[in-house]
C-alpha cells in the first residue's frame, strides 16, 4: 500500500468515526492501527496518533505511550492533542453521568416526599419550562441566522467581484455574530450547574462588584451612562455567606435592567435615577435596586413574575430575556428569593433576600465599623 493510500484510508476512517454518535474503533481494525503506528513514514504515524481519541480503552495506554514517545515532533504533538481531547471527552461523560444520577436521586426523594403522581407532574412542568426556554433560544438563533447567512453570501460575492463598498455589510455581520456569541454565553451561564463553594462576604462588596460589572458591560456596548444617576442610599456593612461571583452576577443583571429602563426609541439612555440599598429583615439580608424608568404594565409584570424565557426589552437592539432568569437562579441557589414590583411610567423595584450569616451583629455593622 502506498503512502497516499495509507493516509487516505486513515483519514476516511477518522471522518467516519466523527459522524458516529459513540465513536470507537472496531476491534477488527485495532491490529491494523497497531501495525501502522510503527510505519516508517512519520505522516502515517501522525494520522494514527489523530485516531487515539477513538481507540478502545484496553488498547489505548500502549498505543498512546508509543506515539507520545515518537521520535518525530509532529507525531508527538498529534498524540498529545488526541490525548487531551480524549481526557476532556471522558470528563464531560463523567459530568453527564453524575448529573443523571443526581436527577434520579432527587426524583426518588421527591416521590417519597409527595408521592409518584405529584412528582410526575413536577417533572412535566419542568419539561414544559425547558421547552419554553429552548423554543425562545432557537427562535432568536434562527432569526439571527436568517439575516446573517445572506450577508455572508453577499460579502463573499462582492469580495469576489472586487466591490469596495463592503463596510456596512461587514459591520452588520460582525455585530450579529458578536450578539450570537454573547447570547450563547448567557444561555450557558443560565443552564450550567452552580458551584457549591460559599464564603463570607460583605454585602457592600457584592453590590460594588455587581455595579461595576453592569456598567462595564454597558460601556462595552458603547452606551453613554452619564444621563443616569446611580446612588448607594444605604448599603450596610452586613455579611452574607455566598459565592461572590454568582450573587454579583445577579446584581449586575438587575442593575443592567435598571439602566435599560431608560432606553429611548433610538436605543440611547435618557435621564433617570437608580437607587441601591441594603438592610436586614429578621434573619434575612435585603438588597433593593429601584429605578424611576419606564416601568411595566400589569400584564407585563404578571408575565415577568412567571420567570419564563422570552420576555424582552423592545427598546433594545438585541434583547435576550435571560438576565433576570439567571439572577433568580443564582439567588435561589443561596436559599434566597428575588421579587419584582413595577408600575407603568413610575419605575421598577427588584428585591433580593439572602440568609444572614450566623453570628452577624443585631445592628448589621461589621466589627470595624
The angle at the Cα of 310, spanning 286 to 330, to the nearest 5 degrees, equals 30
Phi/psi for 287 (5° steps) reads -135, 120
pLDDT, tens digit, for every residue of 3-47? 788 888 888 888 777 766 557 888 888 898 989 999 999 999 999
Q: Which three cell numbers stand for residue 130?
A: 425547558
Q: How many CB atoms lie within 10 A of CB 243?
A: 18
Q: What does the pLDDT look like over 340-353, one tens digit per residue?
A: 999 988 999 999 99
Residue 362: the pLDDT is 54
Pairing of strands 284-291, 199-202: unpaired
Q: In what order do the strands lie in the sheet with 347-355?
A: 228-232, 272-281, 284-291, 347-355, 337-343
Percent of the chain with pLDDT over 90: 36
Tens of pLDDT, residues 84-140: 988 888 887 777 667 667 777 887 888 888 888 888 888 778 877 776 777 777 777
Q: Say which DSSP state 2 is in.
A: -
Distance of CA 220 to the CA centre of its chain: 19
Contact 276, 235 (CB under 8 A): yes
- Is 258 within 8 Å of 231 (Cβ atoms)? no
Among 295, 258, 262, CA closest to 277: 258
Grid look-up 453613554 returns 224
Q: What is the pTM of this model?
A: 0.57
229 conformational bin, left if phi > 0, alpha if psi -120 to 50, beta if neither? beta
Residue 315 reports pLDDT greater than 60:
no
Q: Which helix (H) or strand (E) holds 352?
A: strand 347-355
DSSP 193: P
Enclosing H/E stretch for 94: helix 73-114
Name the more confident of 176 and 96: 176
- The residue that leads in pLDDT, 221 or 36, is 36
Nearest alpha carbon to residue 176 among 319, 322, 318: 318
Cβ atoms 80, 53 nearer than 8 A: no
| More confidently predicted of 187 and 113 | 113
Task: For residues 75-82, give the mean pLDDT.
Answer: 92
CA distances to 83, 238, 241, 284 from 358, rounded to whole Å, are 47, 11, 9, 11
Name the helix (H) or strand (E) containing 326. helix 323-332
What is the overall mean pLDDT for the chain? 82
pLDDT of residue 139: 74
Residues whose CB is less than 8 angstroms from the CB of residue 104 and which lie 6 or more positions away in sequence, other chains included: none
What one-character-per-residue DSSP string does 220-286 give?
A: HTT---TTEEEEES-----EEEE-HHHHHHHHHHHHHHHHHTTB-TTS-B-SEEEEEEEEEETTEEE
Query: What confidence tens digit (pLDDT) does each residue in 140-158 have?
Result: 777 777 777 777 777 777 7
Alpha-carbon distance of 369 to 366, in angstroms, equals: 5
Amino acid at each position: 500500500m502506498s503512502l497516499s493510500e495509507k493516509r487516505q484510508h486513515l483519514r476516511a476512517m477518522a471522518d467516519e468515526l466523527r459522524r458516529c454518535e459513540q465513536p470507537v474503533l472496531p476491534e477488527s481494525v485495532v491490529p491494523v492501527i497497531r501495525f501502522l503506528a510503527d510505519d516508517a513514514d512519520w505522516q502515517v504515524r501522525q494520522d494514527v496518533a489523530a485516531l487515539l481519541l477513538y481507540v478502545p480503552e484496553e488498547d489505548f495506554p500502549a498505543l498512546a505511550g508509543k506515539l507520545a514517545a515518537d521520535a518525530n515532533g509532529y507525531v508527538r504533538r498529534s498524540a498529545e492533542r488526541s490525548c487531551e481531547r480524549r481526557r476532556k471527552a471522558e470528563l464531560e461523560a463523567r459530568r453527564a453521568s453524575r448529573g443523571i444520577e443526581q436527577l434520579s436521586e432527587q426524583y426518588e426523594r421527591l416521590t417519597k416526599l409527595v408521592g409518584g403522581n405529584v412528582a410526575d407532574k413536577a417533572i412535566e412542568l419542568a419539561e414544559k419550562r425547558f421547552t419554553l426556554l429552548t423554543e425562545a433560544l432557537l427562535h432568536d438563533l434562527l432569526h439571527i441566522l436568517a439575516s446573517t447567512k445572506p450577508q455572508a453570501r453577499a460579502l463573499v460575492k462582492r469580495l469576489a467581484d472586487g466591490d469596495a463598498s463592503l463596510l456596512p455589510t461587514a459591520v452588520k455581520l460582525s455585530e450579529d455574530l458578536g450578539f450570537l456569541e454573547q447570547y450563547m454565553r448567557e444561555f450557558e451561564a443560565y443552564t450550567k450547574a452552580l458551584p457549591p463553594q460559599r464564603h463570607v462576604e460583605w454585602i457592600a462588596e457584592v453590590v460594588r462588584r455587581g455595579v461595576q460589572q453592569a456598567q462595564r458591560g454597558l460601556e462595552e456596548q458603547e452606551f453613554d451612562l452619564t444621563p443616569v444617576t446611580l446612588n448607594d442610599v444605604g448599603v450596610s456593612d452586613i455579611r452574607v455567606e455566598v459565592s461572590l461571583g454568582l450573587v454579583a452576577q445577579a446584581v449586575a443583571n438587575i442593575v443592567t435592567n435598571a439602566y435599560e429602563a431608560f432606553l429611548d426609541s433610538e436605543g440611547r439612555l435618557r435621564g433617570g435615577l437608580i437607587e441601591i440599598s441594603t438592610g436586614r429583615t429578621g434573619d434575612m439580608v435585603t438588597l433593593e435596586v429601584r429605578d424611576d424608568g419606564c416601568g411595566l404594565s400589569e400584564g407585563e409584570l404578571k408575565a415577568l413574575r412567571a420567570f419564563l424565557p422570552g420576555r424582552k426589552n423592545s427598546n433594545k437592539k438585541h434583547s435576550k430575556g435571560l438576565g433576570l432568569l439567571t439572577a433568580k437562579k443564582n439567588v435561589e441557589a443561596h436559599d434566597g428569593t428575588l421579587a419584582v414590583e413595577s408600575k407603568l411610567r413610575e419605575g421598577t423595584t427588584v428585591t433580593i433576600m439572602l440568609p444572614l450569616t450566623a453570628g452577624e451583629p443585631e445592628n448589621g455593622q461589621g466589627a470595624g465599623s
